[in-house]
Every structure is written in C-alpha cells, then in structure tokens.
C-alpha cells in the first residue's frame, strides 16, 4: 500500500507554497499503484486552510480509496469539527435548520467544509448564513461586510451559472494573528477553459493555452453575454480588483491545468501547467483582511 | 392595478443569485400595470441579482416599476449596473505575466521562491 506523507503546512505559509504542497500530494497519490492509498498525518500539527480545503475536495472527488492515518488527537478533533471525512451538505435544508447547525461555528475560527447542491432552492440562504457566521467569528469591520457579501455572492453564483457541477464547496478560516479570513470556494465542474470550449467562444485567443482562458475570465469575458448587451462577466473581475487593489488582499484561482495569482504586493501572473497537472474543477482562494484601508469604498469598484 | 411585491417575503435578506432574480417574473400578476418592489428588510443585493432583476424589469415593458425601502447601497448598485448596461464594457485589461511550466520541479522552485 502506497503511503503519502502529508506535510505540516503552517499558518504563515503563502498561497503559492500551499498550492505547491497540494501538487506534490496529488501527484504522489495519482501515481500510487492500484489499491488504497494512505495519507500519513504523523508530521501534521497544523493545516493551512488553503492546503486543507483542496486536500479535502480532492479526497472527496478521487476514485482512489484514501485512508488517513497517524492523526494526532487534537488534529482528529479539528478534522471531525470541519467535516473533513464527509462534508456538511446543503440541499434544500430549511433556513432555520441550516442556521441552527452553523451556529456552533459562530464561536470557532472556522466554518465546516460545506458542499452545496446546485439545485438548492435555498441557495441564497446558504450564502447568507455562511456570511453571517464569518462576520461574527472574525468581527469583520462594517466596511468589509459588503465586499465579503459581494465575493461570496458573485463567486458562488458563478459556480451555479457556469460549472455544470452537481455541487460546490466552501470553507473558511479566520486567522487572528494575520487579521484576515481565508476563504476557499470551489467546484468539480467543467473548468473555465472547458466552459469557453463548451460555448465555442474565444477559442482563437485561447489557442489551446488554459492560462489564456483564465486571463479572459479574470478580465471579464463572459460566455453568457447576449448580443449587444455585455452585462455579464463582472463577478470574478470586480471581486479580484476589489479584494486586491481595494482591500489589500490576495486572490488565487486554479482551474483545469492553469492557475492565476494576484496579490497586493505586485504578483500578477497566469501559469500554464498542462504538461504535468490537471485539477478537475475550479478552486478560488481569497485572503480577505478583516479591516479595510482608510478611504476604501466598495462602490468605487462597482461597474 | 398596482401590485406591491415585498422582496423580503419572497426571498431572504440577501439577494445573491441570478437564478433567484429570474424567478421574480413569476410573482408578477398579469393584471398589474404597475409594480412596486419593496426592498424593506433586504440587506444586500449582488451585482448578478441586480443585472438579472433589470433584465426582468426590461422584459415587462410597458408595465412600470417603482421602488420602496431601498438602502443607499442598493440604490448605488442599481444605478451602477443600469449605467453599465447602457454603455460598452470597459474590460479590466492589465498586463500580467503569462508563464508556462514544463515540469513540476520548475514550478515548485518558482512557487517556493516567492
């Protein structure tokens, strides 16, 4: 049986290095001989949210049997609390019931790993409940509450509108020392390059490079604009500008075989990794400061 | 006749998804020649919801729409989205680096260095 050592991904690691760890774990798991794979947690005392959420999503999606072993008692308790083994699934749950379940997390620093069904009749209630919990956990400043709602609303709605996946995923963790909230919003859908291919749009610009597809999506090129009415495609482009340029946060997107990083200290690139890596879906990681810089006004970023 | 629709009675306090906005048309009475949308109790309305709401409203011509109970944020959002729908889109084009990595090792070195 193949054993894959799960690294101790510390709280102070950046988005890029968390992603680097994910690639290594996925690569070793994929290349393991047939049969169950063991993820060995013996070195783990902390799991960065930007490592943990993709790890859980990968495990949920994988066809492989993945056994988690050598988990410390403290880590086991944490993993149980966040529903690492089987995500908390929201599908047509009455709002009051969902609120009651989530209330437990108002006094924690994290939310559970949630999956939410695309056909959920109460889809807006799910976003609303999660937003309210995060605001209470992190004591989010009044000037950041509306941007937080904007990010959750637009990025979750993008999954409903474009992914073609049965479920989306959401996880968040408040990092007190860093005074920020790390949020992971993901799906196991057709990916952004796949969405453009399905619509038959921008294929000349993309020219087989998935990083170009991500660039177009982040610039606001929608697959669903009506002729003469370019009123769509603002969700991602406005969210990343508001987060990075307005709030001084960080934005990361992985979709299929490309990823994008955009951070306030100057990082802004798209990378094609199709030669050796493919993620079945899209993951967006947001690092959101709980306080806004002086002079920030979210309406300045609305288009 | 004038029909008043309380959005808070139809939806929750946060209006997030485009699909939910599209459902509004089904709440409009065929007899109504004027509709009042009452936003009392609505705390947030997303850009996607707003855009779809305006699409629903446009599709109802000659029926007229009036608004009540809108917070300043919702007034601003509706104004910005309505303005955006009238003019050509200005894309947020930047000049990012476009990178290609041939091996996992090269990517790993690049990521660790940052």
Please enumerate in sequence order all residues whose Cβ is within 8 A of that of A35, keeping only pairs 6 or more positions apart, or say none: A1, A2, A65
Q: Kindly report the three-state secondary structure assignment for every residue of A230-265.
A: CCCCHHHHHHHHHHHHHCCCEEEEEEECEEEEEECC
Binning pLDDT at 50, 70 and 90, where does residue B92 land?
Answer: low
Contact A161, A29 (CB under 8 A): no
Angle at A17 between CA A12 and CA A18, to 5 degrees: 75
User: How is residue A26 written in tokens?
Assistant: 């996925």
List helix spans (H) across A220-270: 234-241
pLDDT in tens, A81-127: 999 999 999 998 888 999 999 999 999 999 999 999 988 788 889 99
- Could you say which residues from 22 to 61 on chain B have a Cβ atom under 8 Å away from some Cβ of chain A? 44, 46-49, 51, 54-55
pLDDT of residue B93: 60
Mean pLDDT across chain A = 91
Strand order in the sheet with B64-68: B2-6, B34-38, B64-68
Cβ distance A270 to B16 less than 8 Å, yes or no, reads no
Asked if A39 and A69 count as a contact pair (C-beta separation under 8 A), the reply is yes
Domain boundary assignment for chain A: 1-85, 87-301
ipTM of predicted assembly, 2 dp: 0.90
Q: Residue count of chain B, please give it.
A: 114
What is the pLDDT, as a whole number, of residue B78?
96
Q: What is the CATH number of domain A1-85?
A: 3.30.750.24
Contact A6, A43 (CB under 8 A): yes
The CATH code that applies to domain A87-301 is 3.30.565.10
Q: Which tens digits make up the pLDDT trace of A252-284? A: 999 999 999 999 888 999 999 999 999 999 999
- A273 touches B: beta carbon within 8 Å: yes
Domain ranges of chain B: 2-107
Per-residue pLDDT averaged across A28-46, rounded? Answer: 94
* Class (C level, CATH) for B2-107: alpha beta
Q: Which residues contact A26 (CB under 8 A, 6 or more apart)?
A: A58, A277, A279
Q: What is the pLDDT of residues A115-151, one digit of tens each?
A: 999 887 888 899 999 999 999 999 999 999 999 999 9
What is the CA A12 to chain-centroid distance, rounded?
Answer: 18
Calculate how close chain B gets to A219, using CA atoms only, in Å.
Answer: 5
Interfacial A residues in 14-33 facing B (CB < 8 Å): 14, 16-17, 19-20, 23-24, 27
């Amino acid at each position: 049986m193949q054993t894959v050592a799960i690294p101790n991904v510390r709280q102070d690691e950046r988005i890029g290095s968390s992603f680097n760890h994910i690639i290594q774990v996925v690569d070793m798991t994929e290349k393991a001989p047939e049969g169950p794979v063991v993820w060995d947690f013996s070195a783990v005392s902390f799991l960065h949210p930007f490592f943990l959420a993709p790890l859980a999503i990968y495990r949920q999606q994988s066809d492989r049997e993945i056994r988690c072993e050598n988990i410390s008692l403290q880590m086991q308790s944490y993993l149980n609390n966040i529903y690492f083994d089987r995500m908390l699934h929201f599908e047509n749950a009455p709002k009051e019931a969902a609120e009651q379940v989530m209330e437990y997390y108002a006094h924690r620093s994290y939310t559970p790993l949630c999956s939410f069904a695309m056909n959920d009749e109460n889809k807006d209630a799910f976003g609303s409940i999660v937003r309210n919990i995060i605001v209470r956990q992190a004591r989010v400043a009044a000037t950041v509450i509306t941007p937080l709602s904007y990010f959750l609303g637009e990025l979750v709605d993008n999954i409903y509108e474009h992914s073609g996946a049965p479920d989306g995923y959401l996880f968040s963790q408040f990092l007190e020392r860093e005074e920020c909230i790390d949020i992971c919003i993901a799906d196991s859908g057709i990916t952004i390059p796949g969405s453009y291919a399905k619509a038959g749009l921008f294929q000349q610009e993309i020219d087989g490079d998935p990083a170009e597809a991500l660039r177009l999506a982040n610039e606001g090129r929608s697959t669903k604009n009506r002729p003469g009415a370019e009123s769509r495609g603002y969700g991602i482009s406005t969210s990343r500008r508001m987060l990075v340029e307005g709030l001084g946060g960080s934005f990361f997107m992985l979709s299929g075989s490309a990823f994008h990083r955009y951070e306030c200290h100057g990082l802004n690139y798209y990378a094609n990794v199709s030669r050796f890596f493919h993620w079945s879906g899209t993951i967006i990681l947001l690092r959101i400061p709980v306080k806004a810089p002086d002079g920030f006004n979210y309406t300045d970023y609305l288009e | 006749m004038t029909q008043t629709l309380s959005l808070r009675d139809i939806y929750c306090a946060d209006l997030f998804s485009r699909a939910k906005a599209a459902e509004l048309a089904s709440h409009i009475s065929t007899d109504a020649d004027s509709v009042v949308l009452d936003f009392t109790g609505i705390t947030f309305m997303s850009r996607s919801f707003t855009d779809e709401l305006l699409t629903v409203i446009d599709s109802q011509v000659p029926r007229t729409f009036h608004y009540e109970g809108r917070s300043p944020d919702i007034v601003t959002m509706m104004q910005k989205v309505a303005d955006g729908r009238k003019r050509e889109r200005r894309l947020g084009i930047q000049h990012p680096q476009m990178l290609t990595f041939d091996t996992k090792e090269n990517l790993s070195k690049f990521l660790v260095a940052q």
